[in-house]
Amino acid sequence: MDDPVRRDTILTAVGMVGMTVFFLFVVYVPGQHACQVAEAQIHAAEQTMAQVPSRVAQLEKLKGKLRQLEAYLAEAKKVVPEIPDLQGVISDVARLADRHRLRITRLEPLERVDRETIAVQTFQVALSGAFSDLVAFLHGLESQQRVYCVRSLRIEREDRENGETVECELKFAAFSRRTENAGFDENRTNPKYPIADKKLG
């Protein structure tokens, strides 16, 4: 009688241990791990949500910088055109000189230097007139929509008895954008354009 009871007791104990081990390794441990993973994901999501306002502010700041850059590039396209337009430059200078009562005795393009992204075209102009009108002409040249850069300026009196009248030799540069950079050589210069001196007055 004792042996069957003892055997049943042992089997029951072994079964309980087996069920406990099964529950521990099949249900409890995976469930605990899943809970830890879920808690980590919730914590990461909470941190991400907490960063949303600052990320939105950064995005708005970047959008503002992008708008400023786009406006700058649009303005740069106006002041540094893609087409050199030599005749347009000559016409602008001639009109400006006429507006300030200056007489042009020489106006011609010189060498052009090609940089990586821009071309620099130099012009030479000889003017005569009142000194105050010459100053106004130079201010007007700086105020043009297109960018001009004065390279050299030489002023002499035309008539020693009249100190107001002067002769001026001016070299200035006009810029244009380059759309193709193939074969770029920064030290390369193009020869002087075969355009005759522009005589006015």
- What pLDDT score does 29 carry? 67
Asked if residue 182 and residue 98 are part of one domain, the reply reads: yes
pLDDT (tens digit per residue) in 5-40: 666 676 676 667 666 666 666 666 677 777 788 888
Residue pair 155/166 in contact (Cβ under 8 Å)? The answer is yes
Domain that holds residue 71: 1-79
Minimal CA–CA distance to 109: which of 169, 168, 171, 153?
171
Asked if residue 113 and residue 184 are part of one domain, the reply reads: yes
Question: Residue 93: exposed, middle, or buried by beta-carbon count in 10 A (0-12, 13-18, 19+)?
Answer: buried
Asked if residue 110 and residue 48 are part of one domain, the reply reads: no
Asked if residue 101 and residue 52 are part of one domain, the reply reads: no
Minimal CA–CA distance to 109: which of 127, 135, 93, 90?
90
Could you say which DSSP state residue 192 is in?
P
Domain boundary among 79, 102, 123: 79
- What pLDDT score does 191 carry? 44
Helices (H), the chain: 2-22, 29-79, 86-99, 131-142
- What pLDDT score does 125 carry? 93
Q: Is residue 145 part of a domain?
A: yes
Asked if residue 119 and residue 74 are part of one domain, the reply reads: no
Averaged over successive runs of 10 residues, the pLDDT of the chain (201 residues) comes to 65 67 65 78 80 78 76 63 79 91 91 83 92 91 83 80 78 80 41 40 37
Domain boundary among 21, 47, 79: 79
3-state class (DSSP) for residue 76: helix
Asked if residue 107 and residue 74 are part of one domain, the reply reads: no
Asked if residue 177 and residue 91 are part of one domain, the reply reads: yes
Q: Is residue 200 part of a domain?
A: no
Q: Is residue 198 part of a domain?
A: no
CA distance 129 to 132: 9
Number of domains in the chain: 2
- CATH code, 136: 3.30.70.60
